[in-house]
Amino acid sequence: MPKPIYVLNGPNLNLLGVREPHIYGKTTLDDVRGLCEVRAAALGHAIDFRQTNSEGTLVDWIQQARTDAAAVVINPAGYGHTSVAVLDALKALTIPIVECHLSHLATREDFRRKTYVSLAATGLVSGFGAKSYELAIEAAADLISRAAS
């Protein structure tokens, strides 16, 4: 069986639809999971969708992706701006990494405009709300296909 695309979500994303809906929208994380599953299946891929509020757990999942995933789509949330540990784990990957954010980081507070994850990511999708995840899945699938050719 082909390896799945890991879709990894960092802290507070479990509160989507409730936390700051004027920024993040009213779509829940379960809704996002459904969008990702449908989009990935249409492209011939499965996903492994996870969320944690723990930095160490996120690092463990990234390390697991080294052998168990075809690509990683990651919304590191706040850890994107603070975690060198997440960056170091991502730098150990040889598979595509697509960074994903619901909001448009360049229009947010200064500290949100740069992420450590971007230093390791193959690409970035930001600012399209829940659609960002679908676009990130498409990008990951394309990168997987290109690597296989």
**CATH among 3.40.50.2000, 3.40.190.10, 3.20.20.140, 3.40.50.9100 for 5-148:** 3.40.50.9100
3-state secondary structure of 68: helix
Q: Where are the beta strands (DSSP E) in 36-96?
A: 47-51, 71-75
**CA-wise closest residue to 121 among 86, 145, 147:** 86
Quote the CA–CA distance of 145 and 129 in Å, as a whole number.
25
pLDDT at position 97? 98
Nearest residue to 123 via CA among 71, 79, 55, 86: 71
Q: Look at residue 108 in the predicted model and tell me its pLDDT.
A: 59
Known catalytic residue at 104? no
| CB-CB contact of 98 with 71 (8 Å) | yes
Active-site residue (options: 24, 79, 116, 133): 24
Per the annotation, the verdict on 101 as an active-site residue is: yes
Radius of gyration from C-alpha coordinates of the chain: 14
State how far the Cα of 37 lies from the Cα of 46, in Å rounded to an integer: 7
What's the confidence (pLDDT) of residue 107? 54
Of the residues 6, 79, 101, 133, which is catalytic?
Answer: 101
Q: What is the pLDDT of residue 105?
A: 66
The whole-angstrom distance between residue 15's C-alpha and the CA centroid of its chain comes to: 16
How confident is the chain (149 residues) per 10-residue block, as mean pLDDT? 94 85 79 97 97 98 98 94 94 97 68 78 93 97 91
C-beta neighbour count of 20 within 10 angstroms: 11
